[in-house]
Structure 1
Amino acid sequence: MSVNIFVDSYGGNVIGAVADGEKLLEYRIEKKNKTVTIGSIFKGRVENVLAGMQAAFVSVGLARNGYLSATDMLMDKTELVGKVEIPSILNLKEGDEIMVQAVKDPAGNKGVRLTSNVSFAARNVVFMPTIDFVGVSRRITDEKTREKLMALAESIKPKGQGIIIRTAAENSSKSEIKRELNLLIKQYEEIVEKFNSSRAETCIFEEGNVAIRLIRDVYNSKIDKFIVGDKEIYGSVLDYAKRIDVELKKKLRLYDKKVDMFKFYGLEKEVSALLSNTVQLSSGGYIVIDKTEALISIDVNTGKYTGSDNLEDTVFTTNLEAAEEIARQLRLRNLSGMIIVDFIDMESEEHKEKLLEVLASNLEKDREKCTLVGMTPLGLVEITRKKRRRESASMLVKSCPYCQGTGVIQSNDYTVMRIRTGLLDLFADGYETAIIDLNIEIADYILAKKLLQKDVDKIWKGKRIYVIPHKTYHQHFFLIKGDNERVIELPDNAVLLYS
């Protein structure tokens, strides 16, 4: 199977995905005008210092103050090899203006988490201007390669500053790595100038869009194609490729078909599956993922799979398949925190050891730090996964108005995404007019936000789209009908989309 990266946009959202054939490995969706992106840098003002907690609250111009801890570092040191002295960040007083970087998204009533040790990542190297440090990613395991890269890092590291050689550098030349480092150094110098000329409580640097971050975090020589469905994003990726990576330019594709990109490549069902807490295994077994305030629990079941006459072998086969799928789902759904897995009970100690081995090897594929704690006396497997961003499904669902928030339904944005896919299909079938019956709130949302304006102006130019709002429709329910008649009978509340 070929591994591809996909990026598309609709309305005010950008969607990024990584897929192996028709199997999703990663899925990201975020607002184009998102207030905070991990990696963004601010000129902040210290509001108050909590000496006993070795922390401070910093105003950065957001709804809530950010939290700055003495122990907060952008990179997790357990992932690196090298020695580093972290400078104290709490020789601070109220009113001080400092440069800080977002390391964790706001959650609930908590503000963004910050660090004063800013860093800048490219595909091959991370530049840390405030820390004197040299490191190599632990994912590079060959000792000779590690020694070679460590020596290279020492030779190009700016005096008094730090760099980390990333996993992708294993297959990159010294000139490539040095070129990237020089670009990061120049970027930092420009940010320092902006810091000096900006007022406090201002964002002075924003991370690139989803596409650029996927290049930095995911793209490597094993990626077959980088497919983009938005011309503006395609242009930004093309510009990046010209400056940074000529090979990427060869793999870059602009998607221009009339059918929704994710549907065309067979990924639509995988996206929809993110809304369910049950994941089917190819053997007939399944896993159930449940989230509570304290932890995430995952239950493994044999389901329809009966396997061989030997129950132990049947259970072992199901557990091994579940271990691979659980590691994929953690990454795909971006689940984090404390995770408890209830595998099906096995008698064989050899099978238990093999299961943990398979789970560990699959967790190693995750870029976020995962720790396999082990198996408890009750047979439960404990995992921890570092949290940085929100769960993938959080943009696809919202609190349900029909059950007072005890459950979830599809979000407005995901419903509009499905409507757009339906319209693409309908117009691809040759219809000139589309009539959409839908919930009144979703109709108002589409009209007020003009979420489909770009498509109407460009790919649906000359088409007629009528919206008929209904108070009795559930928010996720809609009907799309096609018509080629010159004269159409419509109810009085029908609205021509963006006339």
Structure 2
Amino acid sequence: MSTEIEKQEKDLVVSVGPTEVKLALMENHKLIEYNRESSQGHSYSVGDVFLGKVKKVMPALNAAFVDIGDTKEAFIHYLDLGLYFHSFDAFVKKSNQNCDLKQLYSSIPIGPALEKEGHIENELQVGQMLICQIVKEPISTKGSRLTAEISLAGRNIVLLPFAQKVSVSSKISSKEERKRLETLVRNILPHNYGAIIRTASEGKNAAVLVAEAKSLIEKWEDSWKQIARCKSVELLFTEYSKTTTMLRDLLNDTFTNIYVDDEKVYEETKKYISLISPEQEKIVKLYEGKEPIFDHFEVTRQIKSSFGKVVPMRQGAYLVIESTEAMNVIDVNSGTRAKTSDYEQNVFEVNKIAAEEIARQLRLRDMGGIIIVDFIDMDSQEHRNELHKYMMNLMASDRAKHNVLPLTKFGLMQITRQRIRPVTEINTQEQCPLCHGTGKVASSVVIDEQIERKLAYYVTEKGCREFTLKVSPILGAYLSRGLWNNSYLSKWKKKYKCKIKLIEDTGLSVLQYEFYDSEGELLE
């Protein structure tokens, strides 16, 4: 199964609006990930680095609450201060506008390492300033989760200020390549810097790694002036935009196209691709079609069908998804599906279809925490084991850390998935055009009186004498029933001395009607 996933083509569709940028990742034209990023003001996102101020120290929790400018105070645990917190702390306290910040940074010793069994009150005091980074976005009533161990992620390298270690991704298996990369990066990095070498760096030449390390170091050093100048709460720097973050983490040979409908974002994306993967610059394309980009690539339709409480699947099966504060619950239903007369085999097939959709939904909605899946009961232990393995294979391509447990005797599967931001929720319901959201409609007995009042208004007030009246087939039959001279339509024509053309439209609800003038314009 994993080889199938690797071979799938990927398209990234970027829709730029006046207030937000929407990103849709498609695999074989099927929506897999959906992200939105506000283009107005700042939202507190994973990777953002702040100069924060300690507001409360909680010895009982061995943690502290930190003001980073958000309405909800952020949370930092003692174990999230990092091994070399004292080095960051010394840099914040000693930095000022009159000193040479580069010399100060390189002169600060790394260590001693923070004790594992230490206490927060010995390290932080109320009012103390500290450099911190968001690792988990605000969710519900909780503020952001922070770390004081700062990292700057690039495509090939993750830069670690005030660190000494250079580690290589375990996914790079070649010993020679691991040694080459480690030696190369050690020679690139200045004093007091460490790094994590990512899988994407495999086979990259020195020039690419030098350029990336230089840009990450510049980004970190550019924040020093703010630290030295201002000892109040401030955003030091942010992660890249979600477009570039997604490209940084996901870009590989399977990406076929990146479509962008805004020229400025198109140029930014093309520039970023040319830096991290020059050979793929040609896959970035500017969309100039007349219809909205999400409609053209059928993203809108997939959003409408995928984000509801009930999610339809192939051959009549469907999921019911409920998200609560404590956990997410998914119920699998077979609908009317019956492919064979073998009940056990039918249930196994439905559960496999459901597993595919569930793996997609977890990524699409970015569901985290505890997920309980109520699969349809299966008697065969072999099928239960197979389903567990199948689910693990489907989840293998998910970037979020996760754990899939075997089915319980009640047919429940427990999944834990890293939660770093709130679940993506989109309201897929629309207001009823007939009752306008009130849940009440006018009595069908007086519908003819309503239509006549509208007709009288258009004739007397607007001066219209020729109309097209669109109605549902049921209402059309009611208005034209009886002999020609006795139907409602014939009476209205005589009474108001006007022409009325009746058109029956199956797209209208039972009592819905619309008046159009002789030019075909809808009358309000």
Q: What TM-score bracket applies, with the shorter chain setting the length?
A: 0.7 to 0.9
Is the CA contact (8 Å cut-off) linking 1:43 and 1:198 kept in structure 2? no
Gaps of 5+ in 1: 75-83, 404-478, 492-499
Name the counterpart of 2:51. Answer: 43
CA deviation after TM superposition for structure 1 residue 396, in Å = 7.3
Do the aligned partners of 2:308 and 2:427 also contact (CA within 8 Å) in 1? no
SS at match of 1:304: coil
Please name the residue that 1:71 is paired with. 79
Q: 2:31 maps to what in 1?
A: 24
Change (3 A) 1:155 1:287: same
Please state how far the C-alpha of 1:168 moved relative to its aligned partner. Answer: 2.7
Aligned twin of 1:148: 177
Choose 1 or 2 for highest CA Rg: 2
What is the rounded CA distance, in whole Å, between the counterparts of 2:422 and 2:10 in structure 1? 24
Written as runs of structure 1 = structure 2, the 5 A alignment for 1:311-326 is 311-326=343-358
Counterpart of 1:94, as a letter, is V
Change (3 A) 1:202 1:171: same
Question: 1:392 offset after TM fit, Å?
Answer: 2.2
Task: Quote the residue 2:327 is aligned against.
Answer: 295
In the TM superposition, what are the counterparts of 1:84-483 in structure 2 within 5 Å? Answer: 87=114, 90=120, 91-137=123-169, 140=171, 143-144=173-174, 148-149=177-178, 152-157=181-186, 158=189, 160-170=192-202, 172-393=204-425
The whole-number CA distance in structure 1 between the counterparts of 2:406 and 2:63 is 32
Matched residue of 1:8: which SS? strand
Counterpart-to-counterpart distance in 2, 1:36 and 1:342 = 34
Paired residues of 2:177 and 2:203 also in contact (CA < 8 A):
no
Aligned in 2, Cα 1:243/1:194: closer, same or farther, shift over 3 Å? Answer: farther
Counterpart of 1:60 in structure 2 is: 68
For 2:515 and 2:387, how far apart are their aligned partners in 1? 51
Counterpart among 11, 28, 49 of residue 18 in structure 2: 11
Deviations 1:255-313 (A, max 9, x none): 11110111111222111124312222224322221112221111112223211222121
Cα separation, partners in 2 of 1:350 and 1:45, compared to 1, 3 Å: same
Structure 1 position 172, deviation (Å): 4.0
Instruction: Report the 3-state secondary structure (helix = DSSP H, G, I; strand = E; otherwise coil) of the residue aligned with 2:240.
Output: coil
2:87 maps to which residue? none
**In 2: Cα distance, 1:31 partner to 1:396 partner:** 20
SS at match of 1:338: strand
1:201 shift after superposition:
0.8
The C-alpha deviation readout for 1:149-177, integer Å capped at 9, x for no partner, is 36513541435533223333346445433
Count of paired positions: 401
CA distance in 2, matches of 1:19, 1:483: 44
Shift of 1:27: 0.2
C-alpha distance in 2 between matches for 1:73 and 1:171: 34
Uncovered stretches (5+) of structure 2, i.e. residues with no partner: 1-7, 83-110, 431-435, 439-512
Q: Note if contact 2:129-2:231 (Cα within 8 Å) is conserved in structure 1.
A: no
SS at match of 1:42: strand
What TM-score do you get using the length of structure 1 for normalisation? 0.73
Assess if the C-alpha contact under 8 Å between 1:374 and 1:383 holds in 2.
no
CA distance in 1, matches of 2:426, 2:329: 18
> Aligned letter for 1:226?
I
TM-score by length of 2: 0.69
User: Equivalent residue of 1:217, what SS?
Assistant: helix
What is the CA-CA distance between 1:395 and the residue it aligns to? 8.1
Q: CA deviation at 1:144?
A: 2.7
Q: 1:388 Cα deviation (Å)?
A: 1.0
User: Is the 8 Å Cα contact of residues 403 and 417 (structure 2) preserved in structure 1?
Assistant: yes
Deviation readout 1:21-62 (Å, 9 max, x if unpaired): 321010011321233122111111112222232211111222
Instruction: Name the aligned partner's letter for residue 290 of structure 2.
Output: K
Deviations 1:239-266, CA, capped at 9 Å, x for gaps: 3234333134211111111101111112
